[in-house]
Amino acid sequence: MKKKSKQPKYGTKDSVFTHLFSIPKYQLQLYKTLHPEDKRVKASDIETITKKCVVAQHEHNDLGILVKDTLMILVEAQSSWSPNIVIRLMSYAVQSLMDYFEEREVFLYSNSKAVCPRIELYVIYTAQRKNEPETLTFKELFFAANE
């Protein structure tokens, strides 16, 4: 008789996260948790942004939402620490921006300045926290030694 593994099913957790926060009322709750100062936001101000898979050759469960003029990219359930998550987040943000511009028929090669949403990037880190910083910056991680 084979013993069943007690390893968590990270894919299931990712799917639950993505499904839960694809529901407008929960997107609103998430946004209000991250931005308690914004008292005027309502569910109709939120749009789910669907991203194509950028880094890997498979589906991923990362979530993007556009709230008024802010594009929020959330990468959930990272169970192992990697400073390279910053590069992954940037690639998701670029792809989401390209989708945003395409959907709105914004021509980036024109002479007029494109209206671009503000971008916020989040990771939900599920492993036990050691000495990892709460906030990561691309500049500090990859270019601080050059200054």
Could you report the per-residue pLDDT of 89-138, keeping only the tens digit for each?
A: 888 888 888 888 998 999 999 999 999 999 988 887 777 777 777 788 88
Strand order across the 70-78 sheet:
46-49, 63-67, 70-78, 118-125
In a domain, 3, yes or no: no
pLDDT for 57 beyond 50: no
Q: Is residue 62 one of the residues assigned to a domain?
A: yes
Examine residue 5 and state whether it is found in any structural domain, yes or no: no
Entry field: residues in the chain: 147
- Do 86 and 144 touch, CB atoms closer than 8 A? no
Residue type, 7: Q
Q: Which helix (H) or strand (E) holds 101?
A: helix 85-103
Tell me which residue range forms the domain holding 53.
Answer: 10-146
- Per-residue pLDDT band at 143 (split at 50, 70, 90): confident
Q: Is residue 108 part of a domain?
A: yes
Mean pLDDT of 59-82: 76
Does residue 110 lie within any of the structural domains? yes
The per-residue pLDDT of the chain, averaged, comes to 78
User: Is residue 4 one of the residues assigned to a domain?
Assistant: no
Total count of domains within the chain: 1
pTM, two decimals, is 0.71
Let me know: does 106 contact 115? Beta carbons within 8 Å: yes
Instruction: Name residue, tokens 């593994």.
Output: 5
Amino acid occupying residue 136: L
Read off φ and ψ for residue 68, nearest 5 degrees. 55, -110
